[in-house]
Chain A
Amino acid sequence: MQSTTDNIFILVALGMAGTFLLVVSFILFSIRNQNRLLKQRQQFQQAQITHQKELLKAVIESQEAERKRIGQDLHDDVGTTISGLRLLIEMFKPSSGDDKNYQNFAQSTKTIIDKIVKDVRNISHNLSPTTLRYYGLAAAVNEHCTIINQSGKLEITLNNNAEKVLENLPITTSTAIYRVIEELLNNTIKHSDASKADIDFKVDAGLIMIAYTDNGKGLRADIETAKKGMGMQNIESRLLNINATYKLEPYAGKGFQIKIECPIVYA
């Protein structure tokens, strides 16, 4: 066999350089592959989140539509029928006109009917606040606060420094914010033993900033546990649907505080 004249040093140097390149390429391919897989996984997760958001939006919209229908039916059908019943009682004249028993009956019946009319109106208003649709979020929140203030259950102070923006919000956003405030006020009245609540609207850096505080007991559980409650989950899903974020402030001993940031969207 003929002996080779190859230079061993060159062969080793070439072998090392070749392997070096091979390993570098392998690592680069591995990086590219792993990052691509990660990107695909992130895109898939993003698509899932978007799908869930769309489902949530559909649920909320159908819920609002149903509330509106029930509210209108209550107001138009039940309200009108009860008003007609009141009129009938008023128009009814017994044979003996000054029957004391009849007058008592007519009076107490009219009182009950008036209460039913008022309740039906309140329920239909809660189900589908017409003020919100016709006069905007600020007016609807103001009206709701006035009703609560008049009831004496709570003293609410409303500071609105975002009038123009609130007027031009699309109905989905304003309904979501209205429902969130409604839920917060409801929680304050039911659970906090608070005497005062403050609602503050302002605009900062392209966001509607809503600060809600009360002087009640505050959150008993830690913030993460509180977020798992039904009421907070409702608030969270409403806010998620309008791409808003919220932060429960640690406000131990001073009451409850939540800060909401909602991107401004024009109708």
Chain B
Amino acid sequence: MNITAFSIYAMYIVPPTVLIPIVFALLNFNHLTKPLKIIFWYLIFSGLFNLVALVLISMHQTTTWTLHLYAIIEFIAHSLFYSMFFSKKKRNIFMVLMVGFTTLCVINYFFIQNKIEFNTYTRPLGAIIIIAYSLLFILKNQNDEKSWGDNIYNWINAGILLYFASCLFMFIFSNYLLESPDISRLVWAIHDTVLIFEYSLFAVGFYKCRAQQTISSY
């Protein structure tokens, strides 16, 4: 695979795959529960964000600064999603984490990592917290009365865990990868492949939500 092929894969094939879960969500929109709606709007944001990034790339502008904003929205969306599975009292902890993380991102953007660098301090931190959310979710649901596949949130959670755990290394070493943009495309291609897995798992979750809505309490 040459560099052009990597670029086509990363720029034209992977970004539209976000439409797969979005289409499934739209088809079942009336049956979407609150947590699923959060994921749906996050996907819409993610798709638009990718579009903006592609436009900036076509105009030969740097896009790294946009990731600072993306990290905040991504973290808030995931925190809101997981907070839905916990009691109101415990949701305050999620609120504190959201406010704390946003503050850290702002400080990092203005004072620590400048506009042309990746946010390699805050994004991995966000990813680690999201992985912790995901593991807590698994712990909470391990005595589920239903089969694993029948719980739609298991599919969403599997997608999130798979993406953030697999891409954690990449988030940490993003700035090293900037040193050689051509070869770094290989790493981004792996990232994009994991992203397709995540979107596919989200799509299964959205597809199954119609059957589950009668028994869901969220």
Question: How far apart are A246's CB and chain B's nearest CB, in angstroms?
Answer: 25
Q: Is the CB of A16 within 8 A of B184?
A: no
**Cα(A26)–Cα(B158), bound, Å:** 10
Say yes or no: A13-B186 contact (C-beta < 8 A), given A8-B173, A23-B162.
Answer: yes
**Cα(A17)–Cα(B147), bound, Å:** 28
Q: Is the CB of B145 within 8 A of A17?
A: no
**Cα(A91)–Cα(B165), bound, Å:** 104
Q: Is the CB of B177 within 8 A of A8?
A: yes
Residues of chain A contacted by B173 (CB below 8 angstroms): 8, 11-12
Residues of chain B contacted by A233 (CB below 8 angstroms): none
Partner of B165, one of A12, A23, A33, A35: A23
Scan A3-36; emit 1 where CB is below 8 A from any B CB, else 0. 0000011011101110110111011001101110
B180 on the A face (CB < 8 A) = yes
The secondary structure that dominates the B interface is helix
Contact count A vs B, C-beta below 8 Å: 68
Residues of chain A contacted by B191 (CB below 8 angstroms): 16
Say yes or no: A19-B165 contact (C-beta < 8 A), given A8-B176, A30-B148.
Answer: yes
**Cα(A13)–Cα(B169), bound, Å:** 8
Q: Is the CB of B147 within 8 A of A27?
A: no
Residues of chain A contacted by B146 (CB below 8 angstroms): 38
A37 on the B face (CB < 8 A) = yes
B168 — nearest CB in chain A belongs to which residue? A19
Q: Is the CB of B187 within 8 A of A12?
A: yes
**Cα(A71)–Cα(B198), bound, Å:** 72
**Cα(A118)–Cα(B201), bound, Å:** 76
Tell me the chain B residues, 163-184 only, with Cβ under 8 Å from chain A.
165-170, 173, 176-177, 180, 183-184
Say yes or no: A9-B186 contact (C-beta < 8 A), given A16-B169, A19-B169, A34-B148.
Answer: yes
Say yes or no: A9-B162 contact (C-beta < 8 A), given A30-B138, A37-B143, A38-B147.
Answer: no
Scan A23-61; emit 1 where CB is below 8 A from any B CB, else 0. 110110011011101100100000000000000000000
B201 — nearest CB in chain A belongs to which residue? A27
20 contacts between A and B (CB under 8 A): A8-B176, A9-B177, A11-B173, A12-B176, A16-B167, A16-B169, A16-B191, A19-B168, A19-B169, A20-B162, A20-B194, A23-B166, A24-B162, A26-B161, A30-B142, A30-B148, A34-B142, A34-B147, A35-B147, A38-B147
Residues of chain B contacted by A26 (CB below 8 angstroms): 161
Residues of chain A contacted by B183 (CB below 8 angstroms): 9
Category for how many chain A residues contact B: 20 to 34
B135 — nearest CB in chain A belongs to which residue? A26
Residues of chain A contacted by B138 (CB below 8 angstroms): 30
Residues of chain A contacted by B168 (CB below 8 angstroms): 19
**Cα(A34)–Cα(B158), bound, Å:** 14
Q: Is the CB of B144 within 8 A of A12?
A: no
Q: Is the CB of A16 within 8 A of B187?
A: yes
Residues of chain B contacted by A37 (CB below 8 angstroms): 142-143
Category for how many chain B residues contact A: 20 to 34
Q: Is the CB of A38 within 8 A of B187?
A: no
Most-contacted residue by chain A among B138, B145, B169, B183 (CB, 10 A): B169
**Cα(A11)–Cα(B173), bound, Å:** 10
**Cα(A27)–Cα(B154), bound, Å:** 10
17 additional A-B residue pairs with CB within 8 Å, beyond A9-B184, A16-B191, A22-B165 = A9-B183, A12-B170, A13-B187, A16-B169, A16-B170, A19-B169, A23-B165, A23-B166, A27-B158, A30-B138, A30-B142, A30-B148, A34-B142, A34-B148, A35-B148, A38-B144, A41-B145
Scan A95-129; emit 1 where CB is below 8 A from any B CB, else 0. 00000000000000000000000000000000000
B136 on the A face (CB < 8 A) = no
B190 on the A face (CB < 8 A) = yes
**Cα(A26)–Cα(B218), bound, Å:** 26
Residues of chain B contacted by A16 (CB below 8 angstroms): 166-167, 169-170, 187, 190-191, 194
**Cα(A41)–Cα(B180), bound, Å:** 55
Residues of chain B contacted by A19 (CB below 8 angstroms): 165-166, 168-169
**Cα(A16)–Cα(B176), bound, Å:** 15
**Cα(A8)–Cα(B186), bound, Å:** 12
**Cα(A19)–Cα(B148), bound, Å:** 22
Q: Is the CB of B166 within 8 A of A20?
A: yes
B165 — nearest CB in chain A belongs to which residue? A23
